[in-house]
Amino acid sequence: MDKIKIIGGKPLNGKVEVSGAKNAALPILISSLLADGPCRFSRVPRLQDIRTTLKLLGHLGVSVNAHLDQNQVELHADHIHTLDAPYDLVKTMRASVVVLGPLLARFGRAKVSLPGGCAIGARPIGFHLAGLEKLGAEIQLEGGYVIASAKRLRGNRVAFEFPSVGATENLLMASVLAEGETILENCAKEPEVVDLAKTLKAMGAQIEGEGTETIHVQGKTSLVGCDHEIMGDRIEAGTFLAAGFASGGNVRVDGLNPDYIESLLVKFEEAGAKITRGDGFIGLQSLGRPKAVDMTTQPYPGFPTDMQAQFMAVMAVAEGASLISETIFENRFMHVSELARLGADIAIRGNTAIVKGQKSLRGAPIMATDLRASASLIIAGLCAQGETVIDRIYHLDRGYERVEEKIQQLGGSIERVR
Ligand code: EPZ
């Protein structure tokens, strides 16, 4: 089992280019199920979750031509021979549940394993299923599987109980081939949803309002293949900026629109960092130890839950105490006990963590528990005195491409040990 070894205490300086966004690439690769022709995607990040998605698409019968070393993938869903997404594939990556919409829309049937929970929460999919039923799908739950069928989906009005990213993506992909107009209300506004909509429009879908809470879709009878470049990963960018800030350095991240993490940049500025918002890049210069600031995670454009753990690592070495509230997932504080092993002083009260900043942390052996928690532990290890060894970093490889190389590029002492 691989581990990551870090010798902390050195400021990170320099610049790094972010990879394509995992949370845009996953639904976009799956959207190829909707198209009659071949789809070519570029800037696809080389990640475990991407390989899992390609395996699932291959299992369904999609012809997969992947050159992940060049971040290129070509997909053609012209010989789908099964409509079953089995448990062993779905359980490792819950985002697979968004195959439901496309399979139903194009083939009228789907059998997809219920994803099950994960470390950060139960993560049910009721909003997805309620929406698909509104479009006329028959849904049964049997033996841990969702069995869905529809002669042809019919457009309708669907109001989400919560602006769920996955439910918005599933219904967007179902509605583009449904009969007539679909109005999706209380949608997720995340940039990754907008990138998916852009891809669907390149296939000939008729969509308006993506990125706002109401999306209008006019269903088509078929869609063509397309070329699309995946957007830059804003969470990866935020992670490197947080590492630069916590370590007292000066970091620039290239390859993304700064607007997409404005709520994070505002918090870094409140905490005393100097931020430069460029055309396609963001610069962060720390002007001394971070100041403690409070933060609450919210749906986009609020502070992203996927940056909560990384932000907590910065607050762990800040001047003063900060209150960090997690409102999106019910169990996303697993990094707290591992940060405490490095000397962080954090108390949890319900969905709020009280973080009392320490002048410095001390390296220790720790363990990753989920994807973004692993990133938080790397940030803490980089600013702790001495050696930190992080175990179970397979969590990290799900969402960060060549992370140790990129941190080495910024001057960090980090290496992967077998
Ligand atoms: C997406 O997950 C992301 N994953 C998550 O990133 C991200 O944290 C999350 O959106 C929120 O931004 C991908 O895009 C692959 P939700 P998703 O549906 O779609 C509840 C990462 O680290 N809910 O917006 O699963 C749910 O339990 C990952 O890259 C229901 O109750 O998130 C959660 O509490 C982690 N019923 C909340 O809504 C439903 O039917 C938000 O979930 C659907 C969701």
Residue ranges per structural domain of the chain:
3-19+232-417, 22-229
Atom of ligand 1 nearest to the CA of 23: 14
CB 128 within 8 A of CB 170: yes
Percent of the chain at pLDDT > 70 equals 100
Task: Report the alpha-carbon distance of residue 51 to residue 311 in Å, rounded.
Answer: 28
Give the position, in ligand 1's atom list, of the atom nearest the Cα of 166.
Answer: 19
Report the DSSP pairing between strands 157-159 and 181-185: parallel
From the list 39, 118, 187, 226, the catalytic residue is: 118
Residue 95 Cα: closest atom of ligand 1:
15
Polymer length of the chain: 418
Q: What is the mean pLDDT of the chain?
A: 96
pLDDT digits (tens, 9 = 90+) for 244-271: 999 999 999 999 999 999 999 999 999 9
Mean pLDDT of 18-34: 98
Q: How far is the CA of 276 from the centre of ligand 1 (A)?
A: 30
Q: Describe the chain by its helix, strand, coil percentages, rounded to 5.
A: 35, 30, 35
Rounded to the nearest whole angstrom, what is the distance from the C-alpha of residue 125 to the centroid of ligand 1? Answer: 9
C-alpha 393/C-alpha 416 separation (Å) is 9
Which of 3.65.10.10, 3.40.50.300, 3.40.120.10, 3.30.1330.180 would CATH assign to domain 22-229? 3.65.10.10
Is residue 359 pLDDT above 90, yes or no? yes
pLDDT band at 418 (very low <50, low <70, confident <90, very high): confident
**Which residues, 6 or more positions from 350, have their beta carbon under 8 angstroms from its beta carbon?**
none
Cβ–ligand 1 contact at 24 (below 6 Å): no
Measuring from atom 28 of ligand 1, which residue has the nearest CA? 306
pLDDT (0 to 100) of residue 140: 95
Q: Which helix (H) or strand (E) holds 127?
A: helix 126-134
Q: What is the CB neighbour count within 10 angstroms for residue 76?
A: 17
Is 118 designated active site? Answer: yes
- Whether ligand 1 lies within 6 angstroms of the CB of 328 is answered as yes
CATH class of 3-19+232-417: alpha beta
pLDDT at residue 1 tops 90: no
For ligand 1, mutation pick of 123, 187, 374 (most atoms within 8 Å of CB): 123
Q: Which helix (H) or strand (E) holds 201?
A: helix 191-202
Between 119 and 387, the more confident residue is 387
Kindly report the protein residue whose alpha carbon is nearest to atom 21 of ligand 1: 306
Between the CA of 7 and the centroid of ligand 1 the distance, in Å, is: 34
Tell me what pLDDT residue 164 has.
98
DSSP 355-404: EE--S-EE--EEE--SHHHHHHHHHHHHHEEEEEEEE-THHHHTT-TTHH
Over residues 223-229, the mean pLDDT reads 98
Give the predicted TM-score (pTM) of the model: 0.97
| pLDDT tens digits for range 61-113 | 999 999 999 999 999 999 999 999 998 888 888 899 999 999 999 999 999 99
Tell me whether the CATH fold assigned to 3-19+232-417 matches the one assigned to 22-229. Answer: yes
Q: For residue 362, which phi and psi values (nearest 5 degrees)? A: -125, 135
